[in-house]
Amino acid sequence: MKTILEIKEFEQKPLAEHNLPGNTYEMISRGAAINPEAAALEFFLQGTDYKNSVRWTYREFLEKINQTANMFRSLGVGEKDVVSMLLPSVPQAHFTIWGGEAAGIVNPINPLLEAEQIAEIMNAAGTKVLVTTAPFPKVSFIWEKVEQIRDRVPSLETILTVDLAAFLSGPKKALVQLITWNEKRKIRPGRHIIHDFDQLLKTHAGNHLAFKRTIKADDTASLFHTGGTTGTPKLARHTHKNEIFDAWTLGQYQNLQAGFVIFCGLPLFHVNAVIVTGLMPFFYGCKVVLGTPAGYRGEGLIDNFWKIVEHYKLNTFSGVPTLFSALLNVPVEASDISSLEYAACGAAPMPVEVFHEFEKRTHVPIVEGYGLTEGTCVSAVNPKDGERRVGSVGFHLPYQPIKTALLKANNTYERDCAANEIGAVLIQGDNIFPGYTEESYNETIWVDPGDGSGRWLITGDLGRLDADGYLWLTGRKKELIIRGGHNIDPKLIEDPLHEHPAVSLAAAVGRPDAHAGELPVLYVQLEEDAKITSEELLQFAKENISERAAIPKEIVIVDEIPLTLVGKIFKPRLVWKEVDKIYLRTLQRTEGVEKAAVVTGPDKVRGMLARVNIQISAEADKEKTEAQAQQALGAFTVPFEITIKQD
């Protein structure tokens, strides 16, 4: 589909007539039936040895899912029981997700979270079975965390361990087994039953589900962690209908065909990897290439990425802006990447300069999209075959209406926005989750305009729809800091600092960064007569903030934190201050710029705008200086306008 008119024409057919599957198990089964002997999943362990891979046909892949589901049922997992997954990106993660959804409910968890957070998530989910890694080089930290928390999750009965040594061969395998042998000996059974995942899997049937269950479309399929304050994690409930619908609509929008080859380098605890490079391609009979347990972070993967594209004849891949920035440092000329049709980018805004430079060097078009865990994954995407508007996130997917509206202070509806008028981004559709497991989080996330259209999800984002239906994001009402595609709740930073006796007020905001998009920075107002340095507060932050990515890059002590008339912290002013600081610092390193001034503030169309004034000498090349300044500031995502004065 190329235009919003094509989407509206497609939507004329009632959704029920499209004959969607009733659950994710049926969805994958249908995909497997297209060509059972076609490749479904291929995995390589190391980016430096990317040609050494393991492959599963669709027949074999479905057998693994059956075995996994049967194994979970034998361990007592019923339709309302939870299997938590603390795994890197390995094939067993896919077996666990889809087999787990067939037997019960799956809860993927980020292994990089601190042990305390992992325990909180598992307790909130009511985990019955945990699938994790056995001790293995570079991922042994995962088992160390399991040992710390396993006795703090009362509902946990069984632990299944995945041994990554199975993907090695010859002397390397023997060496790793020797290294990990002593660590495995230390694993204590305790009150938990511990099994080797793959060994136990072999004892279960793979040609069918050995239990009776009618999986309803509205049954909970998964629980995804989306943040939340300490002690009360936000777990988003996804139904089978949510996941099926989102995967189906995206595939229809992109005209996905059997045999398409998709690379997965994003982590399988994240909805993008699970839906966009998982369920969607499996339904359409595509092949998924899973690269290294650490995905894009795997040793040698980025350095060899274009060779990997050539070897596997990849047609597309998904990533965050930092990935595209990193790939600009890898020469592409020596590799044949003609198989690549497009690349998808989401999770954070793409800097304009990175966008243009990537397409210029690779001739691979980038399609930017938008979505959130509460909307299962994807809600809007630029058309890969139509006009892509740089900076926008494209059109809404079929049967997923999006609108912008003005909301009152208590999140009640006032009116819809006109074209190009900024308002709250609202979404609807069968992809919208039923709510968080913790009811207190559900109180302010819905709005009903009262026009018969029903309730809409308040995304927390601000944006505008142009006259042609493209969505442009202009800010975030919910104040999340997005670091390299990773969402950071400011409360994770602010709450621990408010416990410090010297701190009166603390406000965390995102600082523009050319590589990560944003970095967390904390502004602090001290109690009267308090004597403490930024360095001492930063050390306190490192010791008390539970998420490493949330530790601020800098703590700035100020006389007063700006407040609104009603006494609330006015964070936009702090954000503007950070933009001014970083843009000015960047311009001072730009050739030809003698003096510069930056003033950032609100803008009716773009949400926020940096107004840049540059002074150059009479002898300087004005056009060259402006081009260099445009290129330097284009590495960031905040819009800017440049005015140059020449002596």
Measure the CA dihedral 591/597/602/605, to 10°.
-40
Residue 444 carries which side chain, given as an amino acid letter?
A: T
How far is Cα 271 from Cα 269, in angstroms, rounded to an integer? Answer: 7
Residues in CB range of 110: below 8 A, 6 or more apart: 225, 267, 269, 270
Q: How much is the pLDDT for 57?
A: 98
Do 143 and 222 belong to one domain?
A: yes
- How many residues are listed for the chain in this entry? 647
pLDDT at 566 over 60: no
pLDDT tens digits, residue range 233-255? 899 999 999 999 999 999 999 99
Q: How much is the pLDDT for 178?
A: 65
Do 638 and 536 belong to one domain?
A: no
How far is Cα 67 from Cα 555, in angstroms, rounded to an integer? Answer: 51
- Please give the mean pLDDT across all residues of the chain: 90
CB 578 within 8 A of CB 534: no
DSSP H helix total and E strand total for the chain: 18, 31
Report the SS3 class of residue 174: helix
Range in 24-38, 48-62, 499-513 the model is least confident about: 499-513
Asked if the structure places residue 415 within a domain, the reply is no
CA distances from 407 to 47, 422, 424, 566 (A): 48, 11, 7, 18
Q: How much is the pLDDT for 229?
A: 56
193: left (phi over 0), alpha (psi -120 to 50) or beta: beta
What SS3 string covers 305-347?
HHHHHHHHCCCEEEECHHHHHHHCCCCCCCCCCCCCCEEEECC
CA-based torsion, 528, 532, 537, 540: positive or negative: negative
Asked if the structure places residue 125 within a domain, the reply is yes
CB atoms within 10 A of CB 538: 16
DSSP-assigned letter for residue 515: T
Q: How much is the pLDDT for 22?
A: 96
Do 561 and 603 belong to one domain?
A: no
Do 64 and 176 belong to one domain?
A: yes
Domain count, the chain: 3
Tell me the mean pLDDT in the region 496-500.
87
Residue 560, domain CATH:
3.30.300.30
Asked if the structure places residue 623 within a domain, the reply is yes
Do 254 and 286 belong to one domain?
A: yes
Do 620 and 538 belong to one domain?
A: no
Do 619 and 505 belong to one domain?
A: no
Q: How much is the pLDDT for 617?
A: 82
Asked if the structure places residue 81 within a domain, the reply is yes
Asked if the structure places residue 555 within a domain, the reply is yes
Do 84 and 132 belong to one domain?
A: yes
* Strand ranges across the sheet with 82-86: 193-196, 158-162, 127-133, 82-86, 105-108, 220-227, 234-239, 435-436
Tell me the mean pLDDT in the region 177-203.
78
Considering 542, 569, 596, which residue would you say is the last residue of a domain? Answer: 569
Asked if the structure places residue 237 within a domain, the reply is yes
Do 362 and 502 belong to one domain?
A: no
**Bridge-partner residues for 83, per DSSP?**
106, 129
pLDDT tens digits, residue range 103-157? 999 999 999 888 988 999 999 999 999 999 988 777 788 988 998 999 999 999 9
Considering 509, 544, 569, which residue would you say is the last residue of a domain? Answer: 569
How far is Cα 422 from Cα 462, in angstroms, rounded to an integer? Answer: 7
Residue 198, domain CATH:
3.40.50.12780
pLDDT tens digits, residue range 475-495? 766 677 878 767 787 888 888
Burial track 132-152 (b if 16+ CB lie within 10 A, e otherwise): bbbbbeebeebbebbeebbee
Asked if the structure places residue 178 within a domain, the reply is yes
Q: Domain residues for 545?
A: 481-569
Residue 125 carries which side chain, given as an amino acid letter?
A: A
* β-pair type (517-526, 554-558): parallel
pLDDT at 290 over 60: yes
Considering 513, 534, 569, which residue would you say is the last residue of a domain? Answer: 569
Do 637 and 549 belong to one domain?
A: no
Asked if the structure places residue 453 within a domain, the reply is no
Do 75 and 167 belong to one domain?
A: yes
pLDDT tens digits, residue range 82-101? 999 999 999 999 999 999 99
Do 629 and 529 belong to one domain?
A: no
Tell me the mean pLDDT in the region 418-436.
94
pLDDT at 183 over 80: no
How far is Cα 570 from Cα 94, in angstroms, rounded to an integer? Answer: 43
The pair of structure tokens assigned to 438 is: 């913790």
